[in-house]
Structure 1
Amino acid sequence: MQTVILAAGQGTRMRPLTDRRPKPMLPVADRPLMAHTADAAVAAGASELLLVVGYEADDVRAYFGDEYRGVPVAYAVQDEQRGTAHAVRAAREHLEGAFAVLNGDDIYDPASIERLFEAAPAVGTYEVDDPLPYGVFDITDGEVEGIVEKPDDPPSNRVNVGAYVFPAEAREWLDVEASERGEEEITDVLARVVDERSVRAVDVDRWMGVGRPWELLEANEWKLGELDRDLRGEVADTAELRGAVVVEEGATVEPGVVVEGPVLVRAGAHVGPNAYVRGHTLLGEGARVGNAVEVKNSVIMSGTAVPHLSYVGDSVLGRDVNFGAGTTVANLRHDDEPVRLTVKGERVSTGRRKFGVVVGDGAKTGIETTLNAGVTLSTDARVGPNATVTRDR
């Protein structure tokens, strides 16, 4: 089964983390987000991966190359953001028969994708409590009758997860009219298939759409939760590592450190004396956590340093960030309401009682900085010493 993975989006809702790399290449545990999608496809029997890329495509090509886990890889470029059907059309010249389409910024459990491939033509569905924000399938006896986008009166609570298997003839049906939003939607292609063929609805056991920073945190919670203990790096005798902790070769954990899994310490990372690292935490390649620092349930990306006497909780820190000594992150509102975060200029609820900050690549804080819950620091932001930051910068 040829599998098209859509990875050309600019990830505007994930900014500033996507200012310098595409969203599908953000880290989830030990690999990029879209690699989990590719892994599910490979496990399900994909014969070829067709990666649709856009800006910063070099990152994608460098990671996947011409072959990924024994499966050939080809690339197509979507040079304009004109919707999902337009993205698949960019790969049309590579398509030879029935083909699957998966969102490169969604995570699926592999067994469900295997069932999807076997049921072709088919769509993946996921049962939610509140279907109003989603595209919702109208389903009768396991077959799709149609799809309704964000309906006031949903025909079911089984929503679209961006996972499809199309028959070969759908290759010629990718030229669709733009919607009112100016986008050419793959769901219009699906509607044509539904008119012509029976399309099975396949329930996906586990799925997550990763579009906003707290969802990246949740994706890491999922995948870090699947870790098995593995200590290949240098771990001091007096360090205490509890549960599912992975210390990759080339990483260092100094004396007096306490690590409560699940935690992944990637190659080249350094955890300094008496630090306390709590699950679910990812310390990226070359990251540094220093003396008496506490990090809890956070994503600390490659090259980032939290070197002295600091606290970081429930946060996402981009690459090459530096926190000055004594930088403290708040992750809980006094009124106990869900923390709110700015997404595309609008303050929205994360739905999380505990959430800290989002910090773009290259940002730096001065000593004794305090960051309020729900603050975003932009790429290359600078915060002076003794600052209390209550608004985005």
Structure 2
Amino acid sequence: MQTIVLAAGEGTRMRPLTAHTPKPMLPVADRPLCAHTADAAVAAGTDELVFVVGYEADAVREHFGEEYRGVPVAYATQDEQLGTAHAVRAAREHLDGEFAVLYGDDLYDPASIEQLFASRPGIAAYRAENPSNYGVLDTDGDRVVGVTEKPDEPETDLVSAGACVLPGEAREWLDVEKSARGEYELTDVLDRVFAEYEVSYTPLDRWMGVGRPWELLTANEWKLADLERRVEGDVSERAELRGPVVVEEGAAIEPGVVVEGPAMIRSGAHVGPNAYVRGATLLGERVRVGHSVEIKNSVVMAETHVPHLSYVGDSLLGREVNLGAGTTVANLRHDDKPVKQTVKGERVSTGRRKYGVVVGDGAKTGIHTALHPGVVLSTGARTMPNETVDRDR
């Protein structure tokens, strides 16, 4: 069976982190987001991976190549993002039998994907706290007979998680009409599959879509929590590693550093001296953390520098960011309410009581900059020394 991995989107709600990187290639622990999806498909026994690419497609091709973990890889290009059926249709020429569709910007628990692949044709289901925000499955016993999109009064909390395994015949059913949203929807293809086949559902033990920056934090919290301690880099005898900490080969930890897991320090990163890293933190490749810096529950992407005497909490820093000495991130509102962030021009609650900042690639702060909770610094943004920033820049 072949597996289509949808990885063509830019991820506009994830800006500025996607200015140069497609959303499915953003880091989650030791690999890109969509690599977790690919790994789940490989573990479940797929015979081929077909990546549907578009925005910054070369990043996907360079990472996965022509073979990934012993499984051949093919690519299909979706030049315009016109819906999920449109994306799958882009891969049609590669399909020659039963096929699965997985989303490259979702995280699934691998055991459930294995069960889904064994139940074909089938669809992944999840019990949601707010089912009216999703497509709710219509069932007849164990059989799925339809999907009702975002009903006001859902009859069940069982929602579609998007992932599915379709019969080979569905390859010819992808030429659907545009929906009211102006997109070619895979749900219209599923309607025909439901009508002509007995389709079962597989409940996912765990699943999340990663569409906004704070969800990338949550994704890293999930995957970093699964770490097993592994120390391959150069760690000073006077440094202390507590709990599940991974220090990759080529990383260096200076004297006086304390790292509390779960944490991952990737190849080429340099930490210390006297730095404090804690709380589900990812330090990407060639990151530099200086003297007496504290980083807590954050994602710091490749080649970013956080020099001495700075604090970064519950934040996402893009690639090649440089924080001036003494930069301080505030991550808690005084009224204790959830922090809000502007996404595509709209103020949105992150649902997180503690949440810091999002900093785009190449941004720089002057010394002693103070950043308020929920602030976004765009790609290449600058702050002046001693500046307090309480609005996006």
TM-score (norm 1): 0.99
- 1:147 positional shift: 0.6
C-alpha separation in 1, matches of 2:371 and 2:33: 27
- 1:142 positional shift: 1.5
The aligned residue for residue 20 of structure 1 is 20
C-alpha separation in 1, matches of 2:301 and 2:55: 21
The answer as to 2:326 corresponding to 1:317 is no
- Equivalent residue letter for 1:326: G
C-alpha separation in 2, matches of 1:290 and 1:139: 56
- 1:283 positional shift: 0.1
The aligned residue for residue 159 of structure 1 is 159
The aligned residue for residue 308 of structure 1 is 308
The aligned residue for residue 11 of structure 2 is 11
Q: Secondary structure of the equivalent of 2:180?
A: coil
The aligned residue for residue 94 of structure 2 is 94
- Equivalent residue letter for 2:127: E
The aligned residue for residue 214 of structure 2 is 214
C-alpha separation in 2, matches of 1:29 and 1:139: 37
Deviations along 1:341-388, one digit per CA (max 9) or x if unpaired, are 111110101011110000100000000000000000001101111110
- Equivalent residue letter for 1:297: N
Q: Secondary structure of the equivalent of 1:101?
A: strand
Q: Secondary structure of the equivalent of 2:323?
A: coil
The answer as to 2:387 corresponding to 1:387 is yes
- 1:155 positional shift: 2.9
- Equivalent residue letter for 2:20: R
Deviations along 1:294-345, one digit per CA (max 9) or x if unpaired, are 0000000000010110000000000000000000001111111111011111
Q: Secondary structure of the equivalent of 1:169?
A: helix
Query: Taking every aligned residue pair, what percent have the same amino acid on both sides?
Result: 71
Q: Secondary structure of the equivalent of 2:93?
A: helix
The answer as to 2:193 corresponding to 1:193 is yes
Deviations along 1:242-284, one digit per CA (max 9) or x if unpaired, are 0000100000000000000010000000001000000200000
The aligned residue for residue 233 of structure 1 is 233
C-alpha separation in 2, matches of 1:116 and 1:286: 38
Q: Secondary structure of the equivalent of 1:112?
A: helix
The aligned residue for residue 245 of structure 2 is 245
The answer as to 2:39 corresponding to 1:39 is yes
- 1:140 positional shift: 2.2
C-alpha separation in 1, matches of 2:15 and 2:251: 29
Q: Secondary structure of the equivalent of 1:382?
A: coil
> Runs of 4+ in structure 1 displaced over 3 angstroms?
none
Matches within 5 A, 1:371-386: 371-386=371-386
C-alpha separation in 2, matches of 1:289 and 1:150: 45
The aligned residue for residue 254 of structure 1 is 254
The aligned residue for residue 148 of structure 1 is 148
Asked whether the equivalents of residues 139 and 156 of structure 1 are also in contact (C-alpha less than 8 Å), the reply is: no
CA RMSD of aligned residues (A): 0.6
Q: Which range moves more in the overlay, 255-264 or 177-186?
A: 177-186
Q: Secondary structure of the equivalent of 2:219?
A: helix
Matches within 5 A, 1:160-175: 160-175=160-175
Q: Secondary structure of the equivalent of 2:89?
A: helix
- 1:32 positional shift: 0.2
Asked whether the equivalents of residues 139 and 201 of structure 1 are also in contact (C-alpha less than 8 Å), the reply is: no
TM-score (norm 2): 0.99
- 1:210 positional shift: 0.4
- 1:92 positional shift: 0.3
Deviations along 1:43-68, one digit per CA (max 9) or x if unpaired, are 00010000000021111000000000
Q: Secondary structure of the equivalent of 2:75?
A: strand
- 1:153 positional shift: 1.4
Asked whether the equivalents of residues 137 and 155 of structure 1 are also in contact (C-alpha less than 8 Å), the reply is: no
Q: Secondary structure of the equivalent of 1:3?
A: strand
- 1:18 positional shift: 0.5
The answer as to 2:337 corresponding to 1:337 is yes
- Equivalent residue letter for 1:345: G
- 1:151 positional shift: 1.1
- Equivalent residue letter for 1:271: V
- Equivalent residue letter for 2:271: V
- Equivalent residue letter for 1:12: T
- Equivalent residue letter for 2:39: D
Asked whether the equivalents of residues 239 and 257 of structure 1 are also in contact (C-alpha less than 8 Å), the reply is: yes
Deviations along 1:140-161, one digit per CA (max 9) or x if unpaired, are 2111121111110113211121
C-alpha separation in 2, matches of 1:326 and 1:347: 28
The answer as to 2:126 corresponding to 1:123 is no
Deviations along 1:98-133, one digit per CA (max 9) or x if unpaired, are 100000000111110111011101000010111121
C-alpha separation in 1, matches of 2:376 and 2:162: 29
Q: Secondary structure of the equivalent of 2:175?
A: coil
Asked whether the equivalents of residues 302 and 320 of structure 1 are also in contact (C-alpha less than 8 Å), the reply is: yes
- Equivalent residue letter for 1:149: E
Deviations along 1:160-212, one digit per CA (max 9) or x if unpaired, are 21200001110000001111221101111001100111110110111111000
C-alpha separation in 2, matches of 1:326 and 1:182: 49
- 1:21 positional shift: 1.1
- Equivalent residue letter for 1:313: G
Q: Secondary structure of the equivalent of 1:187?
A: helix
Matches within 5 A, 1:260-279: 260-279=260-279
- Equivalent residue letter for 1:259: V
C-alpha separation in 1, matches of 2:49 and 2:37: 11
C-alpha separation in 2, matches of 1:62 and 1:95: 22
C-alpha separation in 2, matches of 1:379 and 1:84: 29
C-alpha separation in 1, matches of 2:139 and 2:318: 42
